[in-house]
Structure 1
Amino acid sequence: MTVVAAALVDGEGRVLLQQRAPARSMAGLWEFPGGKVEPEETPEAALVRELEEELGIQVDPAELMPACFASAPMGARHMVLLLYICRDWRGQPRALDASALRWERTRDMPEIAMPPADAPLIGLLEALLGPPAGPRPPDQR
């Protein structure tokens, strides 16, 4: 099973997480928004569709930058999770298919309860995004 997800990055370098709804498996855990790739659908098309359905935002597929992936067993099936970075979208994200949304810095994500396939992506995502924006430390020369 192929699943796609987005690390939506705001102007402050924070990433959007959504909380899984109570009626879903792994309810209450925080995850990157996204979902399953349907037959005959490209991963990018699936992610554009999922972001519209889950958050009510529109994303140009050209704005999706492949970032990293995770592989995890899901009962009798196996899941490959493809994570994309997206810094530009239209609309304000809303929790249409989740209990809540929150913006977090990658350095704070290890303390957040996340599904087993999402958690290993945090360090890779942090390396790709680089250090958080802010004042630079003084030169040590």
Structure 2
Amino acid sequence: MPALRAHVIIPLMKPAKDVAAAIIIHKGRVLVTRRAPGQEMAGLWEFPGGKMEPGETPQACIIRELSEELAIACEAGDVLTSNLHTYPGGAINLIAVRVRMITQTCQLSVHDEARWVDGSELLSLDLAPADIPVAEAVRALLATNTINAE
């Protein structure tokens, strides 16, 4: 009788992490931030936000992350779009949420620059790969004026 061999099942991919991204439009421009040196993906531009905690909604995540990372008080609205992207370390589901800032200034902590950009400048930035499809959607919305500028 042949010897039985044990088989180990190794998952090919970890489940995607849900990450919320703030889409903040003001006077026809959108807020983007650049990751500071020493941070993961340093030097790349992104829509501010972060990883969702278990049981947290994208909106609750955005309010928490903007407060922690940029000292911004805000109101989070509807989800605009999402993008599933696989990085070498795993996949993320980037969920873009429409946000209205209550405070008018921000304080940088994990970023070294924040910038308001128009649709034509947005895709010329060195964006984090997961943010590129979101940026394309935001640029299209800005171009058609379907997002009202505050």
- Normalised to the residue count of structure 2, the TM-score between the two structures is 0.78
Per the alignment, residue 19 of structure 1 pairs with 34
2:129 is the counterpart of 1:116: yes
2:82 is the counterpart of 1:35: no
Alignment of 1:37-52 (within 5 A): 37-52=52-67
CA contact (8 A) 2:31 2:114 kept: yes
Cα distance 1:103–1:41, how it changes in 2: closer, same or farther (>3 A)?
same
Per the alignment, residue 75 of structure 2 pairs with 60
Per the alignment, residue 148 of structure 2 pairs with none
Q: CA deviation at 1:115?
A: 0.6
List 4+ stretches of structure 1 deviating above 6 A. none
CA-atom RMSD in angstroms: 1.6
Cα distance 1:76–1:93, how it changes in 2: closer, same or farther (>3 A)?
closer
Q: Distance between the aligned counterparts of 1:80 and 1:130, measured in 2? A: 25
How many residues were matched structurally? 129
Per the alignment, residue 139 of structure 1 pairs with none
SS at match of 2:32: strand
Q: CA deviation at 1:44?
A: 1.1
SS at match of 1:51: helix
2:19 is the counterpart of 1:3: yes
2:84 is the counterpart of 1:75: no
CA contact (8 A) 1:7 1:15 kept: yes
CA contact (8 A) 2:73 2:101 kept: no
Q: CA deviation at 1:22?
A: 0.8
- Normalised to the residue count of structure 1, the TM-score between the two structures is 0.83
Structure 1: tracts of 5 or more residues without a match: 133-141
Q: CA deviation at 1:59?
A: 1.5
Structure 2: tracts of 5 or more residues without a match: 1-16, 146-150
Q: Distance between the aligned counterparts of 2:120 and 2:78, measured in 1? A: 21
CA contact (8 A) 1:5 1:83 kept: yes
SS at match of 1:48: helix
Per the alignment, residue 137 of structure 1 pairs with none
Q: CA deviation at 1:131?
A: 4.2
Larger radius of gyration: 2
